[in-house]
């Protein structure tokens, strides 16, 4: 069979693109039939230091293809509403799992995947020479583009790192405020946490401009005393929040995955995890088609069908969590729902499992 007809061209240099190349290797695609963009040796400091949360499912998938770096395990997620009663805690022990997920910095994950990819591609042909002849092109980086369904949440995320007075013992906190979610995620270093504070754009800009002590006081009021005093220990970065979902049907010979297919609100940290499931499922599908001699260029429709449920569920979940708790008219019902969820273990555990694994084949 002509090698060009079985080659897959991957456009992208991020974790989803690299994971796809590595997953394809497990499906029998040799280095010369997986044509990937060159991976940069150095990343911008702001990107390298960014905290990312991998679900347990994503951690397991990536562990199959790379030696992953040190990360902070999420042993418990505490979900609550600021100023209202009702909360729920999802615990890894209740699901007999080592963790619900892991938090690490983008740069360390990038280096681990790049190292695994470099070892696999040693001596392979450069994708630049054969990419134009590939049977299938996968866009694994960027945004969904103009042909996308946009939802503007009217929120801006303020990103920073803080040092807590007390140890959180592997707890990730998700506080829902009148403006949007406020999350604190444990980092590998003791007492250190990544902050994602979603709020009205004007308010987020005002908070970013506050002096450190004034900012810490306002954060303490919004978050509470669960970790004691919180000390700001990084620059503050603002990121406008929108959800974009690709609406154009993938063309013959072209498939979009990850952020190129759907860019989500960061609540519950599902964007990267959904992209990694895209990569895993696509590699499995292409492996089946390759083994049966089917044309890889025709795989787009089958892939769209296979991923429809997981994508739709995850988009709906993040959309709802991003704004539902800001609706004052139903705040009491939401507070009651959180309290009820905490008492009904099967329902709570089912919800936690959906965040850990989504809808994919293991």
CB within 8 Å of 99: residues ≥ 6 apart: 56, 59, 73, 74, 75, 92, 170
Higher pLDDT, 184 or 334: 184
User: Domain limits of the chain?
Assistant: 3-147+242-357
**Residue from 239, 230, 260 nearest 248 by CA:** 260
Say whether pLDDT at 123 is over 70: no
Alpha carbons 196 and 199: distance in angstroms, whole number: 10
pLDDT tens digits, 324-359: 555 454 444 444 443 443 444 555 456 556 666 775
Alpha carbons 331 and 349: distance in angstroms, whole number: 23
pLDDT tens digits, 55-79: 999 999 999 999 999 999 999 988 8
pLDDT at 125: 53
State the average pLDDT over residues 210-226. Answer: 96
pLDDT tens digits, 138-153: 999 888 877 778 888 8
CB within 8 Å of 115: residues ≥ 6 apart: 66, 67
Q: Whole-model pTM?
A: 0.88
State the average pLDDT over residues 204-216. Answer: 98
Say whether pLDDT at 119 is over 70: yes
- Domain 3-147+242-357, CATH among 3.90.1580.10, 3.50.50.60, 1.20.1290.10, 3.40.50.300: 3.50.50.60
Considering only the C-alpha atoms of the chain, give the largest distance between any 2 of them, rounded to a whole number of Å. 66
Say whether pLDDT at 361 is over 80: no
3-state DSSP assignment of residue 37: coil
Say whether pLDDT at 317 is over 70: yes
pLDDT at 153: 80
Say whether pLDDT at 203 is over 90: yes
What average pLDDT does the structure give for the chain? 84
């Amino acid at each position: 069979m002509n090698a060009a007809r079985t080659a897959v061209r991957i456009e992208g240099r991020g974790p989803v693109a690299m994971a796809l190349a590595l997953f394809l290797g497990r499906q029998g695609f040799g280095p010369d039939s997986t044509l990937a963009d060159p991976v940069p040796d150095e990343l911008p400091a702001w990107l390298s230091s960014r905290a990312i949360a991998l679900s347990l499912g994503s951690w397991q998938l990536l562990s199959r293809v790379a030696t992953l770096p040190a990360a902070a395990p999420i042993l418990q997620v505490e979900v609550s509403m600021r100023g209202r009663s009702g909360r729920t805690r999802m615990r890894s022990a209740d699901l007999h799992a080592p963790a619900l997920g892991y938090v690490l910095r983008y740069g360390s994950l990038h280096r681990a995947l790049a190292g695994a990819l470099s070892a696999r591609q040693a001596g392979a042909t450069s994708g630049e020479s054969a990419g134009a002849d590939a049977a299938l092109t996968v866009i694994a980086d960027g945004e969904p583009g103009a042909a996308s369904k946009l939802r503007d949440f009217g929120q801006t995320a303020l990103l920073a790192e803080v040092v807590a007075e007390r140890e959180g013992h592997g707890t990730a906190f998700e506080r829902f405020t009148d403006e949007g979610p406020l999350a604190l995620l444990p980092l590998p270093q003791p007492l250190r946490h990544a902050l994602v504070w979603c709020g009205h754009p004007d308010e987020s800009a005002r908070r970013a401009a506050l002096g450190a002590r004034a900012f810490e006081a306002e954060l303490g009021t919004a978050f509470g005393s669960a970790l004691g005093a919180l000390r700001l220990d990084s620059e503050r970065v603002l990121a406008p929040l929108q959800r974009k979902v690709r609406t154009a049907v993938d063309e013959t010979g072209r498939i979009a995955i990850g952020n190129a297919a759907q860019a989500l609100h960061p609540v519950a940290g599902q964007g990267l995890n959904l992209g990694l499931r895209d990569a895993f499922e696509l590699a499995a599908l292409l492996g089946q088609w390759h083994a049966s001699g089917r044309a890889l260029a025709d795989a787009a429709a089958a892939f769209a069908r296979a991923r429809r449920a997981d994508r739709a569920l995850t988009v709906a979940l993040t959309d709802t969590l991003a704004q539902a708790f800001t609706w004052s008219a139903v705040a009491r019902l939401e507070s009651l729902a959180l309290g009820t969820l905490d008492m009904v273990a099967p329902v709570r555990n089912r919800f936690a499992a959906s965040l850990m694994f989504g809808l994919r084949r293991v």
